[in-house]
């Protein structure tokens, strides 16, 4: 639905961003906000480990902004696509907005 969705926050603050916004083909039409991370290897925990709390918060803010433009809010989830070298892993529901 969207690629590289970005929201400016201000000159001295990081804005919100979501790499991909997709619709799942499930019965509910879940809206999936996807963070894509790539690393050359798994040193320092790899790509998935690099999605820290700050990055999660920016993705959540982006999702909130995107949802404000919709009349009806579908179910949502936050996934991470982690690419370590040649290995790709799709982490479904990797984090949530409740923390």
Q: Residue by residue, what is the 3-state secondary structure of 26-77? A: CCCCCEEEEEEEEECCCHHHHHHHCCCHHHHHHHHHHHHHHHHCCCCCCCEE
The dihedral through the CA atoms of 35, 51, 59, 77 has a sign that is: positive
pTM of the model: 0.89
Q: Which helix (H) or strand (E) holds 19?
A: strand 16-23
- Closest by CA position to 74, among listed 1, 8, 23: 23
Q: Could you give all domains of the chain from N- to C-terminal order, each with its CATH number? A: 2-94 (3.40.1350.10)
- Can you give the pLDDT at residue 42? 66
Is 11 a residue whose pLDDT tops 80? no
Per-residue model confidence as pLDDT tens digits over 21-47: 999 999 899 999 999 999 886 667 789
């Amino acid at each position: 639905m969207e690629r590289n969705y970005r929201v400016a926050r201000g000159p001295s603050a990081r804005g919100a961003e979501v790499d991909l916004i997709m619709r799942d083909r499930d019965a509910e039409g879940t809206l999936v906000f996807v963070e894509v991370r790539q690393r050359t290897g798994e040193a320092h925990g790899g790509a998935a480990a690099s999605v820290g709390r700050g990055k999660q918060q920016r993705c959540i803010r982006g999702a909130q902004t995107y949802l404000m433009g919709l009349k009806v809010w579908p179910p949502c989830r936050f996934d991470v696509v982690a690419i370590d070298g040649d290995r790709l892993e799709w982490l479904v529901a990797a984090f949530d907005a409740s923390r």
